[in-house]
Every structure is written in structure tokens, then in C-alpha cells.
Amino acid sequence: MENTGNHFANYINIILQAYQAREQHKKSTASLPKIKVNPALSSLALIYEKIRTAVDFRAEHLFRRAAIERILRRYLLTYSQKQPRLFASNLIKELVWSRYLPNNTIPKAKIDQLAQVISKHWQLQKQLATSHNIFSAQNELFLQLLATEIDELLVDQEVDEAWAKAIGAWLEQKFVWLDPLSPEDKDVLIYIAIRQAFLKSDPAIIRYHLFLAYFPQWINADAAAIVQIAHQFPQWQQKVEGYLHRPLGNRLFRFVQNQVVPLFVLREIIEKNWPASPLILADKKLLVKAIRQTCQHRYRQIGRKVQRGIVRSIIYIFATKMLLALFIEIPYEIWLLGRLSWLPLSINIAFPPSLMFFIGLFIHPPGEKNTQKIIHRLKLFLHPNHQQRYFQLLPARKSRLAPLFKLFYLLLFLISFGGLSWLLWKIGFNPLSGAIFFFFLSLVLLFGFRVRWAANELKVTAAKEGLFESLLNILALPFLDLGVKLSIGLSRLNILMVLLDFLIEAPLKIIISVIGEWVSFIRQKRAEAVEVPF
């Protein structure tokens, strides 16, 4: 690989070397004893996870980390801090049961490594004297840091970090950022944007990697290092939250997102064809063929991804609506109004999933023109010229029309909500049923636009909107704005997920654990009986 790698820019070599290191690591751990669980127990846990993820707001690639958070939260209520190894062993088994980790592939040595990580986090929390309430904001931060470190310990993600580093080097080489920011601010904001746009990292993952960047001694921290980190932790937290909540970050995210779209195709080419990837990248004909094949494959994947997103959204919307109808809407109408308003109730049940299905009909993957543009941009990425592009994200001066635009948006908001409220009132909606209608309309539009955004993940051609579509997008904007605010609140307090986590998951996992131990006991007794010498 080293012979072919020298034909590429330095940032390409960073990526190729990471894949080579990953293969070497796989070979070095292939003969180590692995953690193995009874596969029969996995089916029950997998069914539960399918139900659980259907009502989760997260992207699919974050489900494993979310599962680790749930397990940690449950274990913190039941395990002593003197049992980190038992904690670690059972956590890995649960992840294998749920098939977040493949069976018989995780080395047993990971248990001791994981126990050390857990102990280290407990020591840091003890130094900071955090609240004992596991649902406090500070403990939620520690939970996310621990879950992310566990996730990256169990599933090697050095390749992700190599991509982030390589893309950062490419952006620095290709673009000149003109806004008056310090070099440190630019580096951190670009790193955050790369992780958001290319690696699809959520704030928890970003916080963990910024934690490692700020405290490089954490990986091998002893007691003295943990005390030092605890002393500087509040300063780090304030700094990181400042970076994550900068308005400029959203503009930079959109800029970086537009640049990295073709790199999703490049990543798949490298991963699917390794170890022949460097040879393919160096041969223009092979490269073009690989890009076309990968684009067609990804376009088909996008179609299936859209279908899954629509189905998940419909399940979540319908399940939440039925809970609201059973526990709030129907009791409210019977006890306070003395009657059931069947038309509003029917509309509130049928309209949201129907609208979500209708939105899905108009979402389509990209086509040939998009593939051609990806080919052109990947050639420039692999064999760059020395021409630099300049960009600026902060406006040179504040627009004088900004107050007028805000007033127009307020009027649009009032007209949209006011007009629809009047229509709902005319057909018999009461204040509660009307509020529920607006609630689900906003969420459906938000889910629909997010699914459409996912379908455009590989789109590099300019979007074409007709007059009718542009008008609908403008009218939907106030509802989308409301949907964003609602989704943030619901992601923190999702009633369905709380019920599943504490009323179903905890007893289910205890039952699976007991059955697993019983099966092991029976096997041992059978072996003892069979192997008795005569």
C-alpha cells in the first residue's frame, strides 16, 4: 500500500494508513478468546430492540451508543461501584444479545479494559462531587462521555478519526476562511462541522472527542491525572458548550456538508474493495467504474432508507397519537364536554400518518447527472490542483431589511396558524384536539423534511423547486420551526421510551440473564454427568 499511496495527497494517505492499521489489528486479535452468548436468547432481545428503535428520534448509526446509555442508566441503579468488572461483563453480553455486537467476536480482554474505563469515570465523578440524581444534567453529561468511550472501545473507530483528520487537512489546503476568528476557534469549529456533516456525530460524540483533545492524558490517566482533569473540567465544559452553541457553527456545517458529499462514495469504495482500494483509486478507469457502481448501490440504499424512515415515523406518530387519545383526548371530551367529537378525533388519528405517507411518495434518490458531478469532484479530491477558494460565513454588514423580514415571518406565522385554527374550529375541533392537531402536523412536517434531507445525502446537483413547491415550503416553515422545538423537548422526555425502558426493558433483560445462567448451569451439569469416568 505504501508504494501506491505516494501517488496521492497527504490527506489520502492518512485515510489509507488507517484502513491498513485496522486490518493489522484484526489479524493480531483473531486468535484471542472471545465472548460468546447463547444465540437463542438473542431473538427476544432483538425483537425488543426493533420495537424500541421504532420510537426513537435518533439516526440508525447512533442506536448502539444509545443502547449503551440505557444499559448504563439502569446499571447505575443496581450495581455497586465496587463491581466494575461484573458491570462491564454484563453490559457486553446485553449488547451481544441485542445484536449491536456480533457474537463470538469481542475479545474477553475487553472486559478488563472496559472495567478500567468505568472505574476511571466513577473516580472523575467522585472528584467533581456530582449529584446522586442520575437524571441531573451533569450526570447526563458523564453518562454520555462514558457511553461514547465504551462504544469506541468495543467497536474500533480510528478510521472515523482518520477521515476527520484527512478532511480537515483537505479543507485547510483547498479553502481559505476569511472570517476574523482565532486559529484555535477555526480548527475546533471545522472539526465539529466535519464530525456533524461527514461522520453524522451527535453532540455527545463531539463532546467526547473534544474532551480527549483537551485532556490527552485521559486515556492512561492515573489518580493524580484524574484530580488534575477534575480541576479543569468546569472550564472545559464551558468552552465546549460555547463552541457547540455558536450560531456560526450552523453556517459552517452547511458549508462543509456541501463539500464532503462525494466523500461518502469514496469511503464506500475504499471499504468495499480493501485491500485493492489504493490500486482502484490510482487507476482512472477503475475509479470511474467503482464510483458508478457505488452511486447506484447507494441510490438503492437511499430508497430503502427513505422507506424505513417513513415507516418508523408513522409507527411513532400513530403510537403516540393513540396514547394521547386514550389517556388525554377521549377522557377530556367525555368528562368535560360530555360527548365525543368523532370527526376531530378521526382526523387526528388518520391525518398525521397519512400525511407522512404522502410526503414519502415525493421523495426520490438522485440520478445520472448527480453521478457525473460526483465523479468530477472526486477526481479533484484525489488529484487536487493548487488553486484555493475563499469563503466567509459572517455577513460583511447587517442587512437593513432584516427587521422587515422578521416582521414578514411573524405575519406568515400568524396567518398560517390563524387560518388553520379558524378552519379547525369550523369543523368542530375544541382547544385540546386543535392543539394535538398542530402538535402532530408540526412533527410530521419535521420528520418528512428530515427523511427528504436523508434522501439527498448524496445530492450535489442544485435542487429545482417549482412555484407550487416553493409556496408550500414557505407556508410549512412556521410549522417546521414549531416541530424543531417540539422534537427537542420530546427527545428529552419521550413518554413511550420511558415506559419501554423502565417497565419492559429492565424486567426483560433480567429474565434473559436468568435464563442464560440457567442454560449454562444445565450444560455444566450435563457435561459433568457425561464425562464421569467409568
Mean pLDDT, range 448-459, rounded to an integer: 82
- In a shared domain, residues 12 and 107: yes
User: Looking at residue 465, what is its pLDDT?
Assistant: 60
Which of 76-90, 251-265, 324-338, 418-432 has the largest mean confidence? 251-265
- Whether 19 maps to a domain, the answer reads yes
pLDDT tens digits, one per residue of 93-150? 889 988 899 999 999 999 999 999 999 999 998 888 765 555 567 888 999 999 999 9
113 located within any domain: yes
- How many CB atoms are closer than 10 A to CB 393? 17
Strand-pairing partners, residue 391, are 177
Which of 250, 271, 292 terminates a domain? The answer is 271
Core vs surface per residue 22-36: b (16+ CB within 10 A) or e: beeeeeeeeeeebbe
Residue 269 has pLDDT above 90, yes or no: yes
- Residue 104, sorted as left (phi over 0), alpha (psi -120 to 50) or beta, turns out to be left
Cα–Cα distance, 94 to 99 (Å, whole number): 9
Distance of CA 284 to the CA centre of its chain: 34
pLDDT at 489 exceeding the cut of 80: no
Q: Which residue has the higher pLDDT, 437 or 482?
A: 437
Residue 202 pLDDT grade (very low, low, confident, very high; cuts 50, 70, 90):
very high
Determine contact, residues 72/122, Cβ cutoff 8 Å: no
391 backbone dihedrals φ, ψ, rounded to 5°:
-145, 155
Bigger pLDDT: 55 vs 376: 376
> Is 410 contained in some domain?
yes
Alpha-carbon torsion 507, 96, 205, 272, what sign?
negative
Orientation of helix 467-492 relative to helix 431-455, angle to 10°: 110
Same domain, 311 and 453: yes
Residue 498 has pLDDT above 70, yes or no: no
Q: Which pLDDT value is given to residue 307? A: 81
Per-residue three-class SS string for 255-300 = HHHHHHHHHHHHHHHHHHHCCCHHHHHHCHHHHHHHHHHHHHHHHH
Q: Is the pLDDT of residue 509 over 70?
A: no
Please list the residues that pair with 34 across neighbouring strands. 107
Is the pLDDT at 23 greater than 70? The verdict is yes
Query: Mean pLDDT, to the nearest integer, of 427-435?
Result: 87
Lowest-confidence pick of 140-154, 235-249, 391-405, 410-424: 391-405
C-alpha cell of 129? 462531587
- Residue 168: predicted pLDDT: 95
Which of residues 290 and 431 earns the better pLDDT score? 290
For 500, the grid coordinates are 419501554
Asked if 121 and 146 touch (Cβ cutoff 8 Å), the reply is yes
Higher pLDDT, 510 or 493: 510
Q: In degrees to the nearest 10, what's the CA dihedral of 509, 514, 518, 524?
A: 80
For residues 234 and 371, membership in a common domain is answered with no
Per the omega criterion (within 30 degrees of 0), is the bond before 275 cis? Answer: yes
pLDDT at 372 over 90: yes
Task: With respect to residue 293, please indicate whether it lies within any of the assigned structural domains.
Answer: no
Distance CA 207, CA 210 (A): 5
210-225 per-position pLDDT tens digit: 999 999 999 999 999 9
Look at residues 34, 101, 103, 40 and name the one whose alpha carbon lies nearest to residue 523.
Answer: 40
Question: Do 184 and 44 sit in the same domain of this protein?
Answer: yes
The answer to whether residue 296 sits within a structural domain is no
% of the chain residues with pLDDT over 90: 40
For residue 81 the three cell numbers come to 461501584
Q: Based on the domain organization, do 235 and 317 belong to the same domain? A: no
Which pLDDT score is estimated for 144? 94
* Mean pLDDT over the full length of the chain: 83
The verdict on 447 and 370 lying in the same domain is yes
Residues 430 and 349 in one domain: yes
> What is the distance between the alpha carbons of residues 93 and 88, in angstroms, rounded to a whole number?
9
Phi then psi dihedrals of residue 176, to 5 deg: -120, 120
| CB count in 10 Å sphere of residue 195 | 24
Q: How many domains does the chain have?
A: 2
Same domain? For 127 and 13 the reply is yes
pLDDT tens, position by position, 69-80: 988 888 877 766
pLDDT of residue 296: 93
Q: State yes or no: pLDDT of 487 exceeds 70.
A: no
Q: Same structural domain for residues 222 and 331?
A: no
Distance CA(84)–CA(81), nearest Å, equals 6
pLDDT of residue 529: 57
Compute the 3-state secondary structure of the chain and give helix, strand, coil in percent, each to the nearest 5. 75, 0, 20
Residue 506 has pLDDT above 60, yes or no: yes
Range among 126-140, 339-353, 363-377 rated most confident: 363-377
**pLDDT tens column, 27-53:** 888 889 999 887 766 677 777 777 676
pLDDT at 226 over 60: yes
CB 65 within 8 A of CB 121: no
- Residues 354 and 205 both lie in one domain: no
Is the predicted pLDDT of residue 4 greater than 50, yes or no?
A: no
Instruction: Say if 179 falls within a structural domain.
Output: yes
How far does the chain reach from its first CA to its final CA, in angstroms? 59
Do 173 and 234 lie in one domain? The reply is yes
Q: What average pLDDT does this structure show over 157-163?
A: 95
Instruction: Please indicate, yes or no, whether residues 310 and 163 belong to a single structural domain of this protein.
Output: no
| pLDDT value, residue 523 | 64
> Domain for residue 514, yes or no?
no
Q: Decide if 531 is inside a domain.
A: no
Q: Residue 468: pLDDT band by 50, 70, 90 thresholds? A: low
Predicted confidence at residue 348, as pLDDT, reads 82
Range of the domain at 92: 2-271
Summarised one tens digit per residue, pLDDT across range 273-325 is 999 999 999 999 999 999 999 999 999 888 887 887 788 777 777 777 777 77
Top-confidence range, 49-63, 85-99, 249-263: 249-263
| The pLDDT of residue 171 is above 90 | yes
Please give, one letter per residue, the 3-state secondary structure of 99-110: CCCCCCCCECHH
Indicate the pLDDT class of residue 3, thresholds 50, 70 and 90.
very low
Alpha-carbon span 292 to 311, nearest angstrom: 29
**Residue 251 pLDDT grade (very low, low, confident, very high; cuts 50, 70, 90):** very high
The pLDDT value given to residue 496: 52
